[in-house]
Amino acid sequence: MYDLIIIGLGPAGINACIYAKRSNLNILVFEKNMPGGTLHTIKHVDNYLGYNNVDGTELAMLFYKQFKDLKVPMKNEEVIKVELNGNEKIVKTNNGTYKAKAVIIATGRGKQKLGLDNENINGVSTCAVCDGALYKDKTVAIYGNNPLMLEDILYLSNIVKKLYIITSKDKLLGNNELLDKITKLENIELLFNQNIKKINEAVDNTQGEYVDYNGVYADTLFFSTSVGNTENSEEIFGNKISYLRSVSSEWDEEVSPVYEQKYTFTRETFCSKLKMTGCEKIYIDILNETSTGRIKSIKINNKQFTGTSVAYMLGIRSNYFTVSIENNKVVVVTKGFGHGVGMSQYGAHGMAKNGYDYKEILTHYYQGTTIKNLYV
């Protein structure tokens, strides 16, 4: 019997592991998908102490490295049921039964989305307090009608230049005092009876549907733009997920505006960003690549980096890159945008333009999966 079973390996689960290990407890962790949780869906994190504008996936990998250093056993299984039996807790998964004195459920919660085609691009958020600062002095729209969102409206009104409130109803719901404050603000415009047909159709037509892999909900990771193929999960994150395999994504180069980008640095800036000295000459040695050519490890002069860390430190959008010297400047050319695992958003867009439906797109990027419905 374990002292503690932790279900979920996002930030909360990893934090629980750290303190449990420090207390010398016998621990077991379950994570059915990718360690790091919803951090993988966040492009910029600038409200975590000690990090300024870090990529969500990069931060998740730092957390995961700290977890691995604890040497706590982890099983890639889905927890089906937790039973309370006096002082004994029984955890049943899709692969076995386990017992513990205590259980911590750290699975987090999902974000409620609208089902729009471009909902997952940068600039679309589901947390006003988390991301509001990103939209300082910009024009922003909120869609919805919930009494809880009134505080968010007031919060954002102090940050953004213009705020549109869009709802399909004929009035806002909630506390009259808050509603009175909102109606008096000059930078807020209320748009009532805005029935967004495309949203409603998408929600209605896919209600209850999910991506299934052998009876388990699939973790549908996504990113912006591939380099012609997606990546195997273990080559980027170190954790093999059977349905996150490298597949062709030939449409990205045609439809993505960020397929290839060029960055130019002075030698001083390049070395400063990589925290290097002595860059009168720059030597590049690629040590290891993924099967599609993304850089896993690279040596620049005498310092070794991961491709992901170079991308983060330089502020470039991909770990698929080349480095050259032109006119005494360091030129970095990237292809793709994002970690490369799962569904390419622009690849999916290209498939849709070529007549593929959403089920064909999803089952292409998530190999071996099927689309099922909770209500059928």
Specify the 3-state DSSP secondary structure of 7: strand
Contacts of 271 (CB under 8 A, 6+ apart): 277, 278, 279
Of 187 and 195, more confident = 187
CB 120 within 8 A of CB 345: yes
- What CATH number belongs to 2-105? 3.50.50.60
pLDDT of 202 above 80: no
The radius of gyration of the chain's CA atoms, rounded to the nearest angstrom, is 23
Please report which confidence band the pLDDT of residue 203 belongs to, taking 50, 70 and 90 as the band edges. Answer: confident
Rounded mean pLDDT of the chain?
88
pLDDT at 337 over 70: yes
Question: What was the pLDDT predicted at 332?
Answer: 94
Q: Is the pLDDT of residue 293 over 70?
A: yes
Coil, strand, or helix at residue 96?
coil
Say which residues have a Cβ less than 8 Å from residue 345's Cβ, sequence separation at least 6.
120, 121, 222, 223, 224, 225
User: Do 2-105 and 128-200 fold alike per CATH?
Assistant: yes
Report the SS3 class of residue 319: coil
Q: What is the DSSP letter of 258?
A: T
Cβ pair 317, 334 in contact under 8 A: yes
Structure token digits, residue 7: 């279900």
Nearest to 58 by CA among 74, 76, 43: 43
Nearest to 78 by CA among 179, 256, 219: 219
Which range among 37-41, 283-287, 311-315 shows the weakest confidence by mean pLDDT? Answer: 37-41
Beta bridge partners of 157: none
Q: How many helices (H) and strands (E) does the chain have?
A: 12, 20
pLDDT at site 249: 95
Query: Can you point out the beta strands (E) in the chain?
Result: 2-7, 27-30, 74-75, 79-85, 88-93, 97-105, 139-143, 162-166, 188-191, 209-213, 216-217, 222-223, 260-265, 284-289, 295-300, 303-306, 321-326, 329-335, 343-344, 370-373
Q: What is the pLDDT of residue 150?
A: 87
SS3 286: strand
Sheet holding 209-213, edge to edge: 216-217, 209-213, 370-373
Name the 3-class secondary structure at 240: coil
Contacts of residue 113, Cβ cutoff 8 Å, sequence gap at least 6: 119, 126
pLDDT at 193 over 80: no
pLDDT band at residue 347, thresholds of 50, 70 and 90?
Answer: very high
Report the pLDDT value the prediction gives residue 195, as an integer from 0 to 100: 57
Q: What percent of the chain has pLDDT over 90?
A: 55
Question: What are the residues facing 83 on neighbouring strands?
Answer: 90
Q: What is the mean pLDDT of residues 204-224?
A: 91
Q: How confident is the model at residue 286 (pLDDT cuts 50, 70, 90)?
A: very high
Domain segments of the chain as ranges: 2-105, 128-200, 206-253+340-373, 260-335
State both tokens at 375: 């209500």
Q: What is the mean pLDDT of residues 90-118?
A: 83
> How would residue 119 be classed by pLDDT, with cut points 50, 70 and 90?
low
Share of the chain above pLDDT 70, in %: 93
| Among candidate residues 109, 133, 320, the one with its CA nearest the CA of residue 224 | 320
DSSP helix/strand/coil, 55: coil
Residue 282 neighbours by CB under 8 Å, 6+ apart: 267, 270, 300, 301, 323, 325, 330
Least confident of 16-30, 189-203, 325-339: 189-203
- Between 50-64, 97-111, 141-155, 192-206, the lowest mean confidence (pLDDT) is in 192-206
Tell the CATH topology of 128-200: FAD/NAD(P)-binding domain (3.50.50)
233 has a pLDDT exceeding 70 = yes
The pLDDT assigned to 126 comes to 75
Higher pLDDT, residue 337 or 126: 337
> Distance between CA atoms of 309 and 295, rounded to whole angstroms?
10
- The string of pLDDT tens digits covering residues 65-79 is 999 999 999 999 999
Confidence band of 194 (pLDDT split at 50, 70, 90)? low
